[in-house]
Amino acid sequence: MTDHHTPSNSSPLPLTTSPFDDDKFHDECGVFGVYNTPEASTHAVLGLHSLQHRGQEAAGIVSFHEGQFYSHKSLGHVADNFNTQPVISSLPGNSAIGHVRYSTSGGAGLRNVQPLFADLASGGFAVAHNGNLTNALTLRKQLVQKGAIFQSTSDSEVVIHLIATSTYLNLQDKFIDAMRRIEGAFAFVALAEDCLIGARDPLGVRPLVLGKLHDDSYIFASETCALDIIGADYIRDVEPGEVVTISEKGLESTKPFPSVSPRPCIFEHVYFSRPDSLTSGTSVYKVRKNIGRELAKECQLNADLVVPVPDSGVPAAIGYAQEAGIPFELGIIRNHYVGRTFIEPSDTIRHLGVKLKHNANRGELDGKIVVLIDDSIVRGTTSVKIVDMVRQAGAKEVHMYIASPPTTDPCYYGVDTPDKEKLLASNMTIDEMAEHIGADSLKFISIDGLYRAVGEDNRNKECPQYCDACFSGEYPTPLTDNNASDADKQFSLLTDSRA
């Protein structure tokens, strides 16, 4: 296998991750796969570019050409590391898979950048994973005790070892055997010498879509926006519990798992997915506007302006303004060029930091009663600064309305979230939260209102239609590693750390 690594961003300035985004759930990861098309790696680069919002720490691509696998992995953004013809030329072939990463399980570092590759007895095999395995540490301990040697601290590598040690004969069966042993949430794309595989966990927590570029060229991607950028047609979502194999035989589908009621992540509708994507065939943008409308029905106020916290609050704010009959204005302007900064995050810079990313539009806010619309509150740190900034711009009253229920519990399914004790809603009442962030009032959409916005009558309390554990604390899979013994947790500290 030919393997190329770019150790860091090539900018001459010392870049650090922005210290001004600590009040959001960090996006999980994005996966992309393409089969049987010329310039597969070019398509993969474009697909990953459109999925950049799902993971901004690192990116990687593995391609296959004439019996040989080729790889390029880098820390940093896709555009910074896959932007030259020599890089693209180093990834020849008609099939490729790619991954953009924000570290959840396993932590940062080049050795954890995906896709992961291994030479197995049945041939070369590369895999990229979106999600998190809730029994990865337990399986890892078992594998290490049997002599397995791990090259990374990513939970995804467990799958490689499970495939390598499976007693089934062909690679597809080995892959399915491995899928049956893991718990948690996953969307996999995998590349072998003769096929491309896409797989989704039985609950469908993490998204994966299937597209078509031409008659015999297929695409897997985390979101439909990655199909749009290369002109591919959206066929359908990969179904929960489905394994799709694409080869010279065409498309083959199997469902090797026991049938269960799907529980896709509802936060895809709230924040993670790009608004121009489809989730379960439904426009994310329209759903977010619906969330704003439901929020207006539940939380009415005689205000002068509806102002979104950009950019994620914009569609919900439009829906709220339309339903409430209150003017929508861009009362906060976002600087789109601040994601990473060369400025060291000292206390002084942290205090000023929100103004690097957002600035109040004083001409619209002065003397007004303002409804601020945001998608969520996690720690509350940014909300404090936003409310204060709007007040300093002359707003008469500032009311913060949130387009999701209170975030009370961490996610264990591939989203980097704070521990429960650091989540504002798990430690304060809503009135206490309002006082903490300095708002005149604070309102959240109800969980039933959120379900109505995505097209359900209400939340089915006996068997919820979505994974909403971050709002309800009801986790749809076993949390095997989280409930491990103290000795096993000590092992986890040595082998796998959260970023």
* Burial label, 239 (beta-carbon count in 10 A; 0-12, 13-18, 19+): middle
Q: Which of the residues 29, 195, 265, 299 is marked catalytic?
A: 29
3-state SS, the chain, equals CEEEEECCCCCCCCCEECCCCCCCCECCEEEEEEECCCCHHHHHHHHHHHCHHHCCCEEEEEEEECCEEEEEEEECCHHHHCCCHHHHHCCCCCEEEEEEECCECECCCHHHCCCEEEEECCEEEEEEEEEEECCHHHHHHHHHHCCCCCCCCCCCHHHHHHHHHCCCCCHHHHHHHHHHHCCEEEEEEEEECCCEEEEECCCCCCCCEEEEEECCEEEEECCCHHHHCCCCEEEEECCCCCEEEEECCEEEEECCCCCCCCCCECHHHHHHCCCCCEECCEEHHHHHHHHHHHHHHHCCCCCCEEEECCCCCHHHHHHHHHHHCCCECCCEEECCCCCEECCCCCHHHHHHHHHHHEEECHHHHCCCEEEEEECCCCCCHHHHHHHHHHHHCCCCEEEEEECCCCCCCCCCCCCECCCHHHCHHHHCCHHHHHHHHCCCEEEECCHHHHHHHCCCCCCCCCCCCCECHHHHCCCCCCCCCCCCCHHHHHHHHHHCCCC
What are 125's two structure tokens?
Answer: 């095999």
To the query of whether residue 467 is one of the catalytic residues in this protein, the response is no
Query: Cis peptide before 486, with omega less than 30 degrees from 0?
Result: no
Cα–Cα distance for residue pair 76/14, rounded to 1 Å: 12
Question: Among 326, 267, 269, 324, which residue's Cα sits nearest to residue 295?
Answer: 324
- Please give the positions annotated as active site: 29
